[in-house]
Amino acid sequence: MTAHASTPAEPARPRLRVLAAMSGGVDSAVAAARAVEAGHDVTGVHLALSENPKSFRTGARGCCTIEDSRDARRAADVIGIPFYVWDLAERFREDVVEDFVAEYEAGRTPNPCLRCNEKIKFAALLDRALALGFDAVCTGHYATVVTGDGGERELHRAGDAAKDQSYVLGVLDERQLAHAMFPLGDTGATKAEIRAEAERRGLAVASKPDSHDICFIADGDTQGFLARRLGTAEGAIVDESGERVGSHEGAYGFTVGQRKGLRLGHPAPDGKPRYVLDISPVDNTVTVGPASSLDVTALTALRPRWCGAPPTGPGRYTAQLRAHGGECEVTAELRDGELLVAFEEPVRGVAPGQAVVLYDGTRVVGSATIARTTRAAPTAS
């Protein structure tokens, strides 16, 4: 008899108990279906985050409506998994909505999606999931978790750069990454392909529009939302020399780099557009100026969170400054608990309150909240 060499079988993947966060959209539905297909024991859960959910959302605006909850339940039924609704509205209000309002009141521009991922989906939800015996929380985010040779977890960009959401996940630490599952992240599938997959699976959400706005401001009117929370307070809009060029009803309604909606009564001498340069909540003043005055050469960021071990000493990275922004070359250093970032080339429109996320190639190093910026020296005219 002739002996034949056999090919070693791949080790079986462990069957995990997975809690799939299902928003009612197509991404989270397909993610849950893929987790089931991978052999995991999956339970779906919809997070009720609104204290007064509306029956229907308007197009792609908002989420967390009764309609979204029903869509999530129908998707779970098609996939064939148990489904529950968990009420986290009070926690969401305290950790995300009130934080959002307080940041704007202080003259900063927050990113509520980062705060929700940090405080709700991978803190409140994950803690409850682990307490109930689940091994992981699955979401429809486009990002990838990679396990290193020593078992450490790393967060990387998604295969499809156009849909990458690693920026809003940069607040996750290694413990949270160890229990995070992103089935859509490492396949490189485009959104069109995900929708086609949802249709093949019989999921009615295949053609449902994405939500592109702040979920708790369904009408998209952030300034109106803040005005209802903070009231109106007339103040001055001034140019860089201090001359009054307009007025406003609340400094909280502006963000650094904003151009539209300024309603200035005095045009610039050169006729060029003016942008918001600074917001001072103390004296309720907004300062505007030319685009060149937005150039920033460095920033200081607070409350750093690391996706693994924190860096030691200064290092060269790329940085992303907004959810849909590009990368820029930087040198960064952690000093006395603050992250100091210097840009290779000046960048514009850096708003305190937003996050700076550092990358080493595709790997997310960590995230911190921008506190102060250093402006470029004005060029001679």
Which backbone phi and psi does 354 adopt, to 5 degrees? Answer: -80, 170
End-to-end CA distance of the chain: 90
Domain segments of the chain as ranges: 17-207, 232-290, 295-375
* Paired strand residues for 327: 320
pLDDT reading at 7 higher than 90: no
pLDDT reading at 6 higher than 70: no
pLDDT reading at 11 higher than 80: no
Q: What is the pLDDT of residue 325?
A: 84
Q: What is the pLDDT of residue 1?
A: 41
6, 7, 54, 311 from 3: Cα distances, Å = 9, 13, 69, 53
Q: What is the mean pLDDT of the chain?
A: 88
Per-residue pLDDT tens digits for 95-129: 999 999 999 999 999 999 999 999 999 999 999 99
CATH number of 295-375: 2.40.30.10
pLDDT band at 13 (very low <50, low <70, confident <90, very high): low
CATH architecture, domain defined by 232-290? Roll (2.30)
Q: What is the pLDDT of residue 272?
A: 87
CATH architecture, domain defined by 17-207? 3-Layer(aba) Sandwich (3.40)
Helices of type H across 190-232: 191-200, 222-230
Per-residue pLDDT tens digits for 133-143: 999 999 999 99
pLDDT reading at 61 higher than 60: no
Q: What is the pLDDT of residue 151?
A: 83
34, 139, 279 from 187: Cα distances, Å = 11, 15, 42
Q: What is the pLDDT of residue 67?
A: 85
- Hey, which residues are catalytic here? 116, 215
Per-residue pLDDT tens digits for 340-367: 999 999 999 899 999 999 999 999 999 9
pTM score: 0.89
Question: In 3-state terms, what secondary structure has residue 92?
Answer: helix
Question: In 3-state terms, what secondary structure has residue 369?
Answer: strand
Per-residue pLDDT tens digits for 281-326: 889 999 999 999 999 999 999 999 999 888 888 999 999 998 888 8
- Ramachandran bin of 65, using left for φ above 0, alpha for ψ from -120 to 50, beta for the remaining angles: beta
